[in-house]
Amino acid sequence: MTFLQSPAVSTGRCNTEPLIDTSLGLSIELQNKTFNQNVKTSTLSAMPGLRLFVAGLFTLTFVAQAQDPNKASGYITAVQASGDFDVEGMHIHLTPTTQFCTHTATSSTTPASKPAAFYLGEPLDAIGHLDHATRTLTAAQIILVPPSPAKVSGTAIIDLIPPAPPAQSTTDLSVRADGFLLHITAKTNLNFAAPLNSISDIATNQWIDYSGVQQLDGTVLLDYAGIGPNKVNHTEDKFRTKTDYDPGAVPDDAHQSGLSKAFKGIDARKIPPYHNQDMQTRVELIGNSLIPAYQLALPDSDPGKIHFRFQVIDSTKWRDAVNMPSGVIVVPYQVVERMHNDDQLATVLADNIAEVIEKDAMRTNSVSNKVLAADLAGDAVNIIVPFAGLATDLAGGGVAAHVHTLELQQSGRVSLWFLHDAGYDIKQAPLAWWLLAPKSAKPVDAITLPSRALTLYIALGTTWHAAPDSAKLPLDENVPDPREKSSSR
């Protein structure tokens, strides 16, 4: 957490000074266009197989010098019944004298009324007195950031086609992919890979490579969409076979030598199950409830069918479940015990299901995945992703780490829909990754908000929170393209 001094707040006027974050060396101006942090896309030109949408991560900053007032900037992570709220874990207390302002498109602020309600993922500034002992900022002024459209793009599997509204045009179609509801219109530039030929051929379990503008209601109006089949080639099939095993049948005395781990990576097939039948049953019930309907409907003979299996293991090394392309997902019992409820445990399982469906390990050959390193060795797992090119071998540590971050952001967005479909509380999802961030269990208020949780709060504030009067914008609307900006966190 960084601390900076804020300009003084005078009664009757709104502060228009930009927030200067010296820890990043950036001047972050909070306005409609430059503070369009609800989404940010990063296109890696060297990796055509992984053009993923990236949620904009705006670092929480605080003013905390010897002088007052102090300023906190970030996203709302909790809303209390009293009307107070938290900004990335810092409690913000409102008083009857708290002023409200709104940033405008001209980089200035204008007086505003207090919102009827605040919401998770809402970006804003809070200026006032900070009590370090209680981590509470008593706000003299709240600066609101109105939502604005933003360009997004990515490559993902279509996991749902919602029912068409009455009298929908034959040129229109909505699909769900990459954690978004994507809307195809007559203005969308469509490209099809054989055997697909027209919009009527679009179905679930197909790849979509897309770009468009996310509207204020959370949907994405597409200007381009390339759709193709989800093919499983010989190399991918071989890789799935190599990672397929019965995780519950691993002998209790199974062991992998230190030399083998050092040269081949961790072999999950050498990890015996953890013997707690109640916990195992709970994990299996929750995991099976999260498998998307289109996957369950595929016949066993379909190459795209993934046979998911869930197994509890004993491992202090991981603060996440670990998934295999075959559909095997192993979950440390330590992760299960740290979760406060089924919704949080479901978050971990849904995220791993999403990673398998989006073929993360095979799309990037990421050497950061030490569990699969032994199976990746010697194989170029170049899966077929129409219009996005082949998977790329990410041997460079820095590039691999960055792409792994993009993968986690995508699986996080997709997981929210799987949780929603299965009836879980998606507002609990960010808390799961927040609680899993430290090596040892701590209360949330003692943990710095991790970027993985922040990604989900931003999704809750954009995709899942429809702004009032959210009229559709034309495709040629002058919307800033986040791909032209560098990503920072």
Domain boundaries, the chain: 2-148, 150-229, 234-436
CATH 1.10.1060 fits 150-229, yes or no: no
Whole-angstrom Cα distance, residue 456 to residue 137?
24
**Tokens, residue 52:** 């993923």
| Residue matched to tokens 């010296």 | 22
pLDDT given for residue 69 in this prediction: 82
H-assigned helices in 83-216: none
DSSP code of 297?
H
* Residue 153 DSSP SS3: strand
pLDDT given for residue 47 in this prediction: 32
* Residue 291 DSSP SS3: coil
Whole-angstrom Cα distance, residue 21 to residue 283?
43
Whole-angstrom Cα distance, residue 418 to residue 411?
10
Burial class (CB in 10 A: 0-12, 13-18, 19+), 5: middle
Whole-angstrom Cα distance, residue 155 to residue 226?
9
Backbone φ and ψ of 315, nearest 5° = -155, 125
Can the peptide bond before residue 450 be classed as cis, meaning omega within 30 degrees of 0?
Answer: no
pLDDT given for residue 45 in this prediction: 31
Whole-angstrom Cα distance, residue 158 to residue 353?
14
Q: Are strands 206-214 and 322-323 parallel, antiparallel or unpaired?
A: unpaired
DSSP 182-233: EEE-TTSEEEE-TT--SGGG--SSEEEEEEEEE-TTS-EEEEEEEEEE----
- The region, left, alpha or beta by phi > 0 then psi within -120 to 50, assigned to residue 135 is left
H-assigned helices in 13-110: none
Whole-angstrom Cα distance, residue 64 to residue 59?
16
pLDDT given for residue 25 in this prediction: 27
Whole-angstrom Cα distance, residue 452 to residue 432?
10
Q: Which amino acid is at 232?
A: V
Q: Which of 278, 386, 268, 289 is nearest to 331 (CA)?
A: 268
As beta bridge partners, residue 385 has: 389
CA 356 vs. chain centroid, Å, equals: 15
CB 101 within 8 A of CB 142: yes
pLDDT given for residue 109 in this prediction: 87
DSSP code of 362?
H
Instruction: Tell whether the torsion through CA atoms of 73, 78, 80 and 83 is positive or negative.
Output: positive
As beta bridge partners, residue 208 has: 156, 227
Q: What angle do CA 366, 367, 369 make, to 5 degrees?
A: 80
CB 306 within 8 A of CB 356: yes
- The region, left, alpha or beta by phi > 0 then psi within -120 to 50, assigned to residue 167 is left
Which own/partner contact pairs does 379-383 have at CB distance under 8 Å and 24+ positions apart? 379/235, 379/238, 379/239, 380/235, 381/235, 381/236, 381/239, 382/233, 382/235, 383/49, 383/232, 383/233, 383/235, 383/236, 383/359
CB 247 within 8 A of CB 328: yes
CB 65 within 8 A of CB 5: yes
This prediction has a pTM of 0.83
Q: Which residues of the chain have pLDDT under 70?
A: 1-68, 263-264, 364-385, 387-400, 467-489
CB 406 within 8 A of CB 96: no
Q: Which of 368, 363, 335 is nearest to 439 (CA)?
A: 335
